[in-house]
Amino acid sequence: MTRAFIRPAVIAMTGYVPGEQPQDRRYVKLNTNENPYPPSPRVVAAVRAAANEDLRLYPDPSANALRDCAASVYAVGRDNVLVGNGSDELLNLLVRACVGPGDRVVFPYPTYSLYDTLVTLQEGEIVHLPYPPDFSLPPTLAAAGGRITFVCHPNSPSGTAVAIESIRALAHEVTGLLVVDEAYVDFAEATALPLIHEFDHVIVLRTFSKSFSLAGMRIGLAFGAPSVIAELMKVKDSYNVSRLSLVAATAALQDYQWMQANAARIRRTRAELIRALRERAFAVLPSQSNFVLARRPGQDLEGLYLALKAKGVLVRYFPTPVLRDALRITVGTDDEITALLHALDELSVTG
């Protein structure tokens, strides 16, 4: 029996369920917070140019060219930066490096559910602290005594952000590592990145998957104190990021304005989407992300999710008790949002 070889913790867990990536037909795809706009033409040109015979060679295991570029864009040192195969890999490295059996990992709930999967794999103890209705930070986060405390900023799936001051206050209080997952921060008003200069135990994560339109390339950055980054380096695979991904990320940073222009367009469409959903009797939290959480308190929205899917519009439904009354909707192009609203209206979802 194969199962005899597998750790009981793995057999007992349900694996992380990523959002659907359907291959059968084309949808108006508003379910996994990808960017509706293409990456910079400079990225595409750089990847094309790098798709040559040098692919027989391993990539730079330290990713120093990209680290140097990130260091200059984000005003940090090279030693403050670690490059990952998506920020998911960086989350994985952090949990593997810090969490052993029985160690506590604390985070507000609901949030990005990969944190649960990673801690379960390490046989750590998960402490969920419910977000209050306004999605401010739960006041007992630090007192819970996590070896790691995760704060997703802005949070998924709520889309909400908290004041940087409250993250700073938490950094003063926690005794373990504070990991601020800023996958969506380019759509927000403020970043916690400067905190890495104030605290050795704060790590800030970024990704190229959302604002830079590079989900397919799998690149993330961790920012933190050199002493912590150096330990994480030991845990990662030697060649964790491919040559093409390194080239793509470097070119994307060199065309930062492209990302900013797309983020600005998405913020404008987001305002319009929120207004239109509220008009259709959804409760929508203020979003600082490239998605919104649209609720019908007390209703289960699975039927609506399925009906939209049948009409070719894919949004995210989470079959978990606290989120059954909600749909998470990625901010697409204006045309995609018009298609969503049209589909909602056809389904007579007007309140």
Ligand X SMILES: Cc1ncc(COP(=O)(O)O)c(C=O)c1O
Residues that bind ligand X (CB under 6 A): 33, 86-88, 112, 152, 156, 181, 183, 207, 209, 215, 220
Residue 141 or 344 having the CB closest to ligand X: 141
| Minimum gap (Å) between residue 2 Cβ and ligand X | 29
DSSP class of 316: B
Residue 35 or 80 having the CB closest to ligand X: 35
CB 318 within 8 A of CB 157: yes
CB 162 within 8 A of CB 184: no
Contacts of 19 (CB under 8 A, 6+ apart): 31, 32, 316
Residue 18 or 145 having the CB closest to ligand X: 18
| Minimum gap (Å) between residue 215 Cβ and ligand X | 6
Q: How far apart are CA 303 and CA 307, in angstroms?
A: 6
- How many CB atoms within 10 Å of residue 328? 24
Query: Torsion over CA of 319, 290, 119 and 97, rounded to 10 degrees?
Result: 170
Residue 117 or 207 having the CB closest to ligand X: 207
| Minimum gap (Å) between residue 115 Cβ and ligand X | 9
Residue 241 or 343 having the CB closest to ligand X: 241
Query: Where does 91-147 show beta strands of DSSP type E?
Result: 104-109, 125-130
Strand order in the sheet with 220-223: 81-84, 220-223, 202-207, 177-181, 148-152, 104-109, 125-130
| Minimum gap (Å) between residue 327 Cβ and ligand X | 16
Residue 93 or 313 having the CB closest to ligand X: 93
| Minimum gap (Å) between residue 207 Cβ and ligand X | 3
Q: How far apart are CA 127 and CA 271, in angstroms?
A: 34
Helix/strand/coil percentages in the chain, nearest 5: 40, 15, 40
| Minimum gap (Å) between residue 319 Cβ and ligand X | 18
Residue sitting closest to ligand X (CB): 86
| Minimum gap (Å) between residue 65 Cβ and ligand X | 19
Residue 16 or 199 having the CB closest to ligand X: 16
Query: Please, what is the angle between helix 86-98 and helix 226-235, to 10°?
Result: 100
